[in-house]
Amino acid sequence: MVTLQASQPKNPLQSLQSYGQSVWLDYIRRSLISSGELQHLIDKDGLQGVTSNPSIFEKAIAGSTDYDSALSTIEQSHDRDAMSLYETFAIADIQATADLLKPIYEQTKWRDGYISLEVSPYLADDTQQSISEARRLWQAVDRPNVMIKVPATSAGIPAIQQLISEGINVNVTLLFAQDVYEQVANAFITGLELLAAKDGDIRRIASVASFFVSRIDNAVDNLITAQLKTVTDAAQRDVLRGLLGKVAIANAKLAYQRYQTIYQSSRWQKLSSQGAQTQRLLWASTGTKNPQYSDVRYVEELIGFDTVNTVPPATLSVFRAHGQPRSSLTESLDEARSTLANLQQAGISLQQVTDQLLAEGLQLFRNAFDQLLSVVEEKRTAILGNKLNSLTYKLPEPLNKAVQASLDDWQQNGKIRRLWAQDATLWTGTDENKWLGWLGITEDQLAHIDHLKQLAQEVQDLEFTHVLLLGMGGSSLCPEVMKLTFGNKQGFPELLVLDSTDPAQIKAIERQIDLTRTLFIVSSKSGSTLEPNIFKQYFFDQVQKLLGAESAGNRFIAVTDPGSKLQHIAEGDDFRHLFFGVPSIGGRYSALSNFGMVPAAAMGVDVAKFLDTAEVMVHSCAPSVPAKENPGVVLGNILGVLANQGRDKVTLSMSPGIADLGAWLEQLLAESTGKEGKGLIPVDQEPLGNPSVYGDDRIFAYIRLESAADSAQDAAVTALEQAGQPVVRISIADPYQIGQEFFRWEIATAVAGSIMGIHAFNQPDVEASKIVTHQLTTEYEKSGTLPSETPIAIEAGIQLFTDSKNASVLSKAAGTDQSLGSYLRAHLNQLKPGDYCTLLAYIDRNDAHQIQLQIIRETIRDAKKVATCLGFGPPFLHSTGQAYKGGPNSGVFLQITCDDATDILVPQQKYTFGVVKAAQARGDFQVLADRDRRALRIHLSKDVQAGLSTLQTIIEQIL
């Protein structure tokens, strides 16, 4: 303790030192430090320490502009998440305060001169996390005169012992009960003993036990006042009245008695003889709350040797002005005992009060922390402006209310933190924790960006004209988005993507490229997917014929998970490069990993910039960002809650320049959530209609590219909003910000999956059709033909097929006129409100076919007022196929197959690509039928365009 000169006139604050009490300030704020006011308090009032807590930092950072310019300087140089911004400010303030207090620390031989920093209030129930957080903060602040604050919960007490044993100074906070205080003192002493046993320097370990005072009076006075309303007995009323405003101080005085006993014990004497300092009681919560009580009561009544009182600024001022110090802490101890005994007799349990105060105290700190982080997040978002894609939404009121309640649940139950902590119980508790590697992928990629930069350089140097990506689903959809969004980058090859076994489509791609100047990327996470493997066989064979076996591998790159079959093939064929995926990232969550970024780098996208830009969204969705501020969590809650209320058709509308994002989103949403009879049904590329064509099963998501928006789309979305349809709007200022949507929607899908109660990372029903396809191709290899089938109707060169169950339903409904039209009418008449209709087209995906299918789709939507989807096979099998089979049984399917005009033999196999496609269509159909889906297959002849025209005419006639 610093001894003041005898000659100096002492103010009441300064006088406290002569009673053995140190005054600390329960407040911190940057301007207090920078203005010199804190130094003044140290110099003039003898202030000997400072404490902070989440509420104090909330007032400082959220309630002032002290930090605004620092915040914008940081953000302008590099974006950080709200938690990291808060910590940067908090740590800087703590360090600056520690430096101001350092002379006191040294003069008092490490007894005083401390500043405290509290661990996140969200860790109060977790011993291990409290320990690691405290260690991390201790190292980050890197000052000997800091104390890390840990709450006195049952999980906190073992953490306190451990931290003390490691030589970390601890301020034990949220202490209300004497018994708990004893446990804390015991943990402290044990911690010191452990440190001494390791030959640690125990003399320098300082700790305080922050015993809260005024809150006890508040709580107890309320209970007494409530009793006084019912108790009529005069004597009892006197006793009750006499207890008002007495309990907190009585409790503190008796805690101090325990302190004295503990630190006179022989156990302590052993440590003391080695130079250990006691863990002082520190009176906290010492601002007077009840205006009827003296404003200095919780200072004046608690003065005693070897104690600390941490006071808020207002109490500091009034005590300086009129405080009357006396040695009060050891006065009237009998009265204190009888106060507590009377309280018990009056039926008020002090233990219940203190238990409740601890729970409330934690909640208050959590609320303050959330408020603090919300405000930092708001300030950050304002500084970022349009560098962060915005999200707004308008929902009909009952739905909005349900979404807000769900967001509250996510907040109060710490679910965002649980998501980031990879807690499988947020979903089904199966193995979801093994599939969350995508949460940290941007950081990982940026840390190893050189391999992508080198690839980009190499591709340029070698002057390839094309990069052809061979892959399916999660391995092809992000590259498709990149291709459409970024087009051809000057000086780089054009990226093409092959994800279809349709022979016409393969030929169309082959016609576009020069095989000798193309770089092939074979992309498959599992490395065992049929399509990329046979694509590789085909193109490797072609290149080999032109360049010779030695050189062919030089034109191939593989992206796959370590140890896969594709890795072995790539090594065997001497591929140019082998890039690995992360096994804990499933295909549809892999966009920002090598599966999306290798092709992006090869086509000339600045991947470092792309990932850096995506990180802005990662920061916005961070675990510490409160639910209502968290853009991924907000979207996930909207999707999950609306799906549970029957609005499960997520109708996607994108600006034309980013239209392919829809196909990527389709896979993410459908494959992640469409299972166990539940699911979000994405509706992509369905042209927006007027509000009258929609039922009440939709939610609309409009993703607008600000630089190239479509005014008709804008008007249509506004009309939907005005008609009361739920609409989410996302705005993207720059195509480079599309990566933010990858991450936002991944978080949103994971959140929606949790709300819907499903495993958001598996795809059990995709596997089912793969198995049937495999059986069919094996059969073909043996017999040279696929099993024969009998159509249920033939007309105008079009054949209809279905399974026996659907056949009998449709035949009955078609009646005597078993024409194509009657069957189609019977099939489409099964559509009822809330259903959706999907066209599953196993044909060449060219512009003409797309236009025809879109017309058919619109006709069905407008006539039946149902959602309509369009999937090309086989790609959709790796995407929406999961939801069609595993999701709600509300789909009515029209599968469209055709005879192939030309076919291509798969090298080293007996089958052709056409046979594979046919087997895939049949496998798909069989599984749909096995799952009791309403499905009809329409088989066209070789002239697909003519067949589609006939189909279009019939559908227009019958609806």
Ligand X SMILES: O=C(CO)[C@@H](O)[C@H](O)[C@H](O)[C@H](O)COP(=O)(O)O
Ligand Y SMILES: O=C[C@H](O)COP(=O)(O)O
Query: How far apart are CB 90 and ligand X at their closest, in Å?
Result: 14
Which of these, 848, 495, 887, 449, lies nearest to 660 by C-alpha position? 495
CB of 771 vs ligand Y, minimal distance in Å: 13
**Which of the residues 850 through 879 are near ligand Y (CB under 6 A)?**
878
Q: Which string of b and e fits 359-371 if b means at least 16 CB within 10 Å?
A: eebbebbbbbbbb
* CA torsion, ordered 705, 708, 711, 717, to nearest 10 deg: -10
- Minimum CB distance to ligand Y, residue 592 (Å): 15
Going residue by residue from 37 to 76, which x/- string records binding to ligand X, judged by CB under 6 A? --------------x-x-----------------------
Name the minimum Å distance from CB 55 to ligand X.
6
Which residue from 161, 307, 411, 475 is in contact with ligand Y, where contact means CB under 6 A? 475
- Spatial distance between the Cα atoms of 897 and 841, rounded to a whole number of angstroms: 6
As a whole number of angstroms, the distance between CA 923 and CA 633 comes to 37
15 binds, among ligand Y, ligand X, none (CB under 5 to 8 A by kind): none
Reading phi first (left if > 0) and then psi (alpha if -120 to 50, else beta), residue 487 is in left
149 is catalytic: yes
Tell me the number of residues near ligand X by CB under 6 A: 14
CA distance 634 to 109: 52
Question: Could you tell me the two tokens for 197?
Answer: 């046993």
Are 432 and 426 a contacting pair, CB within 8 Å?
A: yes
Q: Please identify, using beta-carbon distances, which residue of 532 and 662 lies nearer to ligand Y.
A: 532
Instruction: Output the CA–CA distances (angstroms, integers) from residue 530 to 557, 883, 896, in the order listed.
Output: 18, 21, 22
| In contact, 188 and 160? CB cutoff 8 Å | yes
Q: Is the Cβ of residue 304 or residue 473 nearer to ligand Y in the bound state?
A: 473
Task: Name which of residues 747 to 766 contact ligand X (CB under 6 A).
Answer: none
- Give the integer Cα–Cα distance in Å for 950 and 937: 15
Residues with Cβ < 8 Å from 66, sequence gap 6 or more?
Answer: 29, 30, 31, 60
Query: Among residues 15, 21, 26, 38, which is the contact residue for ligand X, using CB under 6 A?
Result: 26
Site string for ligand Y, 878-917 (x = CB under 6 A): x---------------------------------------
The CB-of-310 to ligand X minimum distance in angstroms stands at 5
Whichever of 442 and 524 has its CB closer to ligand Y, that residue is: 524
Q: Which stretch binds ligand Y (CB under 6 A): 469-477, 626-634, 642-650, 856-864?
A: 469-477
How does DSSP classify residue 700?
A: E
From the CB of 107, what's the least distance to ligand X, in Å? 22
When the beta carbons of 285 and 673 are compared against ligand X, the nearer one is 285
Looking at the Cβ atoms of 98 and 680, the one nearer to ligand X is 98
| Footprint on residues 528-567 left by ligand Y (CB under 6 A) | 529, 532
Told to check if 153 binds ligand X by CB under 6 A, we report no
Residue found by looking up tokens 């980058």 in the block: 489
Question: Residue 526 touches which of ligand Y, ligand X, none (CB < 5 to 8 A by kind)?
Answer: ligand Y
* 106-135 binders of ligand Y (CB under 6 A): none
What is the amino acid identity at position 197?
A: A
Would you say 160 or 509 has its CB closer to ligand X? 160
What is the residue whose two structure tokens read 């006396």? 326
Q: Name the active-site residue from 10, 44, 59, 149.
A: 149
Site map (CB under 6 A) of ligand X, residues 269-298, x = contact: -------------x-xx-x-----------
Residue 133 or 666 having the CB closest to ligand Y? 666
Tell me which residue has its CB nearest to ligand Y: 473
- Does residue 307 belong to the site contacting ligand X (CB under 6 A)? no
* 53 contact, one of ligand X, ligand Y, none, CB 5-8 Å limit per kind: ligand X
**CA-to-CA distance for 123 and 141, rounded, in angstroms?**
19
* Binding region for ligand X (CB under 6 A) out of 207-215, 341-349, 518-526, 608-616: 207-215
Residue 841 dihedral angles phi and psi, to the nearest 5°: -100, 110
344-355: burial string, b at 16+ Cβ within 10 Å, e else: eebebebeebbe
Q: Which partner in ligand X, ligand Y, none is near 17 (CB below 5 to 8 A by kind)?
A: none
Nearer to ligand X, 299 or 720 (CB): 299
Q: Which stretch binds ligand X (CB under 6 A): 209-217, 261-269, 675-683, 687-695?
A: 209-217
Binding segment for ligand Y (CB under 6 A), chosen from 357-365, 524-532, 834-842, 906-914, is: 524-532
DSSP state of 62: I
Token duo for residue 343: 């309280």
Q: How would DSSP label each residue in 581-636?
A: --TTS-GGG-TTSHHHHHHHHHTT--HHHHHHHHHHHHHHT-TTS-GGG-HHHHHH
CB neighbours (10 Å) of residue 707?
A: 11
Nearer to ligand X, 26 or 301 (CB): 26
210 binds ligand X (CB under 6 A): yes
Query: Could you say whether residue 207 binds ligand X (CB under 6 A)?
Result: no
Residue of 143, 215, 649, 849 that binds ligand X (CB under 6 A):
215
Please identify which residue in 121, 587, 599, 735 interacts with ligand Y, judged by CB under 6 A: 587
The pairing of strands 146-151 and 114-118 is parallel
Please name the residues in contact with 545: beta carbons below 8 A apart, sequence gap of 6 or more. none
**Of 108, 162, 207, 214, which one interacts with ligand X (CB under 6 A)?**
214
For ligand X, the binding residue among 310, 655, 777, 895 (CB under 6 A) is 310
* d(C-alpha 781, C-alpha 778), whole Å: 5
Nearer to ligand Y, 700 or 761 (CB): 761
Taking CB under 6 A as the criterion, the residue among 171, 524, 890, 897 binding ligand Y is 524
Please check whether residue 697 is in contact with residue 867, taking contact to mean a CB–CB distance below 8 angstroms: yes
Core vs surface per residue 463-484: b (16+ CB within 10 A) or e: ebebbbbbbbbbbbbbbbbbbb
Phi, psi (5° rounding) for residue 5?
-60, 140
Distances (CA, A) of 328 to 57, 298, 331, 340, 390: 32, 11, 5, 18, 59
Given ligand X, ligand Y, none, residue 473, with its beta carbon under 5 to 8 Å by kind, binds: ligand Y
Q: Can you tell me the distance from the alpha carbon of 929 to that of 663, in angstroms, rounded to the nearest whole number? A: 25
The Cα angle at residue 563 between residues 559 and 565, in degrees rounded to 5: 70
Shortest spacing between CB 718 and ligand X, in angstroms: 48
Q: Which tokens is 931 given? A: 């799952």
Nearest to ligand Y of 529, 762 (CB atom): 529
**DSSP, res 245:** T
Q: Which of 544, 576, 320, 353 is nearest to 464 (CA)?
A: 576
Minimum distance of ligand X from residue 63's CB (angstroms) = 15
Candidates 171-179, 281-289, 427-435, 473-481: pick the segment binding ligand Y (CB under 6 A). 473-481
Q: How far is the CB of 172 from ligand X (least distance, A)?
A: 8
- In one letter, which amino acid is 517? R
Helix, strand, or coil (residue 292): coil
Site string for ligand X, 331-370 (x = CB under 6 A): ----------------------------------------
What is the footprint of ligand X within residues 156-175 (CB under 6 A)? 171, 173
φ/ψ of 114, rounded to 5, equals -105, 155
The structure tokens listed for 686 are 């369905």
Between 48 and 594, name the residue whose CB sits nearer to ligand Y. Answer: 594
Q: Is 21 in the site for ligand X (CB under 6 A)?
A: no
Task: Name which of 33 and 766 has its Cβ closer to ligand Y.
Answer: 766
Phi, psi of 26 (to 5 degrees): -95, 65
Q: Which residues sit at the interface with ligand Y, rule CB under 6 A? A: 472-475, 524-526, 529, 532, 587-588, 878
Q: Which residues sit at the interface with ligand X, rule CB under 6 A? A: 26, 51, 53, 116, 171, 173, 210, 214-215, 282, 284-285, 287, 310
Catalytically annotated residues? 149
